[in-house]
Chain A
Amino acid sequence: MADIAIKISGLGKRYTIGAREQQYDTLRDRIAAAAARPFRRLAPGGLGASTTIWALQGVTHEIRRGEVVGVIGGNGAGKSTLLKILSRITTPTEGEAEIHGRVGSLLEVGTGFHPDLTGRENIFLNGAILGMRKAEIERKFEEIVRFAEIEEFIDTPVKHYSSGMYVRLGFAVAAQMEPEILIVDEVLAVGDVHFQRKCLGKLDDVARSGRTVLFVSHNMAAIQRLCTSAMLLQHGKLVRVGEVRSTVAAYLGGEARGGFAAAARTGEPQILSADLEDVAGRPLENPVCTEPIVCRIQFTLPHRAPGTRIGIGVLSCDGVPVFTTNNADAGFPCPSGPGDFEARVTIPANTFLAGDFHLALCLWNPGAILDLQEPALSFSVDAGRSPLYTENATRKGYVHVECAWSVTPRVESPAGVLS
């Protein structure tokens, strides 16, 4: 028992959808609802009239001290709800959790930053919000400023910061937390590559220092690099827990295979279905390196939506993005709708090396993601009779790039010839 850091038993959270909408109804509806309220309380089932959703249900798990747990799952799987309950931001509807040690949670970078305050002032404010002592912040102040790389802007109000600076400062403060248990939500989705690498490095240090970490991310490569175990959530339930690699594989491969079909039309812009075929239009059972792969995507735009884009992303078996492409790459706009459409993407022959891949589908406009299916479908590419595999069977990487080569005898060039 002594080495348990977090003990979760039967944790569940139910949200009442109806109650939220009532707030924004008209005054007349509100009065009507108020008149009906005493009767509804008496009715069996109480608030049963409104729709309820279990964002999380029956989650039971024990996390040992020093474990670095990756929490994975699709959108709406309940990952954030779990973290919010464990961070005491919201109460569970059922079940309980026991936490041994102080918890530091980083659900968002720069929580509580005030735009009108300077970087210096916000470091103190944010530090205090994250539970640090003033003396502790003072001691670590220099390190925070150095990590955030904002030395010359430390006395500038953060509203004048670039988004990158803002995020760096937020993470730099949070990185100084020294709780026994660290809870981190998808914070790596922000910032540039340099910053993300720095954050991962910091998380690596935390993980190595023997602290318990709960880490939500869609970045499967990061999950596999940092975590010692993983929890897979689907529709609010814990469906798999254990070794990282197999859990990630279950998440990526388990959702769909070969084809994708949406459960129902929602009335919103939406990807309806997708499948793979060969150039002749036949369903593609066993893609090989030497053949093009055609991805067919049906989508619907119920309303006029100019500027919409449809794209695909190819991920490796361990979740590393390999490449993405969308209709604008080909230089033509997507129809504005309304209507149902079909997009066809041809991935040229000799692109993939042999291996397992996943395909993410995305429908978006410059302002917002309209529909994201990740991963929508999976496929295995065989070496077939590819000349790439004739001499040695192993090649590293995911894709093949046609490169120009020349090998010539080396001639000593006299000094000064180039100048």
Chain B
Amino acid sequence: MSVRPSALPVTHIRPGARAMSFTLDEVWHARELLYFLVWRDVKVRYKQTALGIAWSVLQPFLTMVVFTIFFGRLAKVPSDGVPYPLFSLAALVPWTYFATAASNGSSSLVGNQHLLAKVYFPRILVPLAAVLMPAVDLAVSFGMLIVLMAWYHVAPTAAIVALPLYVALGILTAFAVTLWTSALSVRYRDARYVLPFVIQIWLFISPVAYPASMVPERWRLLYSLNPMVTVVEGFRSSLLGTPGPGSTAAIAMVVVAAALAAGAAYFRSVEGSIVDLA
């Protein structure tokens, strides 16, 4: 089996992290590995946990119960004319995905240290897989949301066609966060203590427990810089027919695109030293 030299790919190895970094072409070629990394995490989770798939339903469901009691009943938070349990669950489904994906992704490089030290593949697959894995939970909890909608006799409107866009925006937001936090936590293990706190604050600056319409007009622009506002409001509007995110969506897309570009650049600048630092 002779191989013509011209057919062989040439790899250049040079100093500096950037010279090492992934190309989109390389990531595309490794798509099967990406699939297997996601598949591994899903399999392992369902093998290791007693409740398995129930966890993806339980967490948003119990949060919804608590929110309904405290925000819906006691604090009488308005819910855009939708029953409060449905209102909050429609937000908790994408939110739970985001929170899980961000924390999963942040610890992904540290958690896969051993693998990274022994074999080369585009490093970016690790945080990417960690962000995609909770999408399985998202799909399951989405089923629960559909059941609750049927319970309240709420039918989705034509706006549902926009739903995939909001899901995609949610995934990209989580990925943008993860590009930063996964790389940062290799060097600064403090990141893992900071992140849960940040996620908690983030929950309150996103319209999960309350409608975005409660935010005063003069704060709207600042508020809409948070892409999760668009994700949550969009998710809710495309299913329940509540007011959509409107022009906020355009701002969110710009913010996410910028965060992704900057995150990818940062990731590329450090990925060559991931193995040496840890």
Q: What is the interface of chain A, defined by CB distance below 8 A to chain B?
A: 2-3, 15, 19-20, 23, 65, 84-103, 105, 107-108, 111-112, 114, 116-117, 121, 124-125, 128-131, 133-134, 157, 180, 209-210
Contact = CB atoms under 8 A, between A and B. Distances in A.
Contacts of B30: 131
A102 B8 CA distance: 7
Contacts of B120: 87-89, 103, 105
Contacts of A19: 277
Contact of B14 (A3, A96, A112): A96
B225 interface: no
22 contacts: A89-B116, A91-B14, A91-B17, A91-B19, A91-B20, A96-B12, A96-B14, A98-B13, A101-B3, A101-B9, A102-B8, A107-B118, A107-B119, A111-B114, A111-B118, A112-B115, A112-B119, A116-B47, A117-B43, A117-B44, A125-B40, A131-B121
A15 B10 CA distance: 27
| B interface secondary structure, majority | helix
A166 to B, nearest CB: 15
B247 interface: no
Interface stretch (B64-72, B150-158, B162-170, B268-276): B268-276
A381 to B, nearest CB: 42
| A interface secondary structure, majority | loop
B14 A92 contact: yes
Given A89-B116, A129-B121, A2 B5 contact: yes
B216 interface: no
B74 interface: no
B33 interface: yes
B119 A95 contact: no
Nearest to A93: B15
A111 B119 contact: yes
Nearest to B190: A30
Contact of B33 (A20, A117, A128): A128
Given A111-B118, A130-B119, 16 more contacts: A88-B13, A90-B275, A91-B14, A91-B17, A91-B20, A96-B15, A97-B12, A99-B10, A99-B11, A105-B119, A112-B115, A112-B118, A117-B43, A117-B44, A131-B33, A157-B47
Closest 5 CB pairs of A and B: A128-B36, A91-B272, A88-B120, A97-B13, A99-B11
A102 B15 contact: no
Contacts of B32: 128, 133-134
Interface string B8-40: 111111111101100000000010110111011
A21 B114 CA distance: 19
B9 A92 contact: no
B214 interface: no
Contact of A180 (B8, B19, B47, B119): B8
Given A15-B276, A96-B12, A89 B119 contact: yes
A209 B189 contact: no
B20 A88 contact: yes
Nearest to A130: B119
A177 to B, nearest CB: 11
Contact of A116 (B3, B48, B116, B118): B48
A131 B32 CA distance: 9
Contacts of A92: 13-15
